[in-house]
C-alpha cells in the first residue's frame, strides 16, 4: 500500500485546533480540581473565554471535553492500517503503533505517572465510564471498516478489529489498575511492553502473520 503524504493544515484549521485544545485544557483543569460532576459547560466556556455554543461545536457532549482523545484514537488506529507499507500486515502496523505510543509516553499508550489522576476521575464518574466504553466501540467500528477496505484477505474484519481492540484495551487497563494502586510508571514499562508483544503474538497466532 502506497503511503500518501498528508497535507499541512491551513491557518484556519490550526486556529480551530488551538481553540479546541484550549477548551479541553481548561475543562480538564477544572475537572481535576473539583470533579467532573461539579463543573458545568457554562463555567468552562467562561474560563476559556468562548461561548457555550462554541464549546458544543467542538465537543458534542460534556464527557467529550475530558475524553477528548477518542477521535485521535480512531484516526491513529485506522491510519496505521490504511497507510501501512506494501509488505506490512495490518497487525504488524498496529503493533508498531502500540509500541510507538508506549515509547512516546502518549496518553493512548497508557504509561505516565500523571495519567493516574485522569483514570481516577474516569473511574469515579459513571458518565465518563459509559463514554469511555462508547469510545472503545467507535475505535473498533472504524478499525473494522479500515480492515474491510484494505485487507480483503481477512475473512472477518469485524472479528479481527474486535479482538485486536480488546487485546490492546486489556493490556492498557491492567497497567492503569496497577498505577491507580500506587505503582510507578518506570517500574511497569518492561512488563507493559512484554504484554503488548505477547498480545500481538497471540493475535498473529489466531489470524496469521499476514493479517
Cα 199 to Cα 171: distance, rounded to the nearest angstrom: 8
Report yes or no: 172 and 191 within 8 Å, Cβ to Cβ.
no
Q: What is the pLDDT along the chain (211 residues), one digit of tens a residue?
A: 444 555 677 888 889 999 999 999 999 999 989 889 999 999 999 999 999 999 999 999 999 999 989 999 999 999 999 999 989 999 999 999 999 999 999 989 878 888 888 888 999 899 999 999 999 999 999 999 999 999 988 889 999 999 999 999 999 999 999 999 999 999 999 999 999 999 999 999 988 766 7
Element (H, E) at 208: none
Closest by CA to 30, choosing from 17, 48, 54, 15, is 48
- DSSP state, residue 31: H
Chain-centroid distance of CA 206 in Å reads 24
Closest by CA to 35, choosing from 157, 128, 169, is 128
Chain-centroid distance of CA 67 in Å reads 9
Amino acid at each position: 500500500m502506497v503511503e500518501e503524504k498528508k497535507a499541512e493544515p491551513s491557518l484556519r484549521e490550526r486556529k480551530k485546533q488551538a481553540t479546541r485544545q484550549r477548551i479541553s485544557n481548561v475543562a480538564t483543569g477544572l475537572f481535576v480540581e473539583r470533579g467532573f460532576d461539579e463543573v458545568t459547560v457554562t463555567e468552562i466556556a467562561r474560563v476559556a473565554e468562548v461561548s457555550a455554543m462554541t464549546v458544543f461545536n467542538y465537543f458534542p457532549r460534556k464527557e467529550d471535553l475530558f475524553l477528548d482523545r477518542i477521535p485521535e484514537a480512531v484516526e491513529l488506529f485506522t491510519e496505521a492500517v490504511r497507510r501501512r507499507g506494501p509488505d506490512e500486515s495490518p497487525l504488524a502496523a498496529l503493533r508498531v503503533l502500540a509500541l510507538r505510543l508506549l515509547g512516546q509516553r502518549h496518553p493512548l499508550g497508557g504509561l505516565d505517572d500523571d495519567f493516574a489522576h485522569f483514570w481516577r476521575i474516569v473511574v469515579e464518574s459513571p458518565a465518563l465510564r459509559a463514554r469511555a466504553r462508547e469510545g472503545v466501540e467507535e475505535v473498533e467500528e472504524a478499525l473494522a471498516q479500515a480492515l474491510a477496505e484494505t485487507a480483503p484477505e481477512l475473512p472477518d474484519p469485524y472479528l479481527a478489529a474486535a479482538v485486536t481492540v480488546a487485546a490492546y484495551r486489556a493490556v492498557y487497563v491492567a497497567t492503569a489498575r496497577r498505577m491507580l494502586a500506587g505503582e510507578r510508571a518506570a517500574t511497569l514499562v518492561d512488563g507493559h511492553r512484554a504484554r503488548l508483544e505477547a498480545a500481538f503474538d497471540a493475535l498473529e497466532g489466531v489470524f496469521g502473520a499476514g493479517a
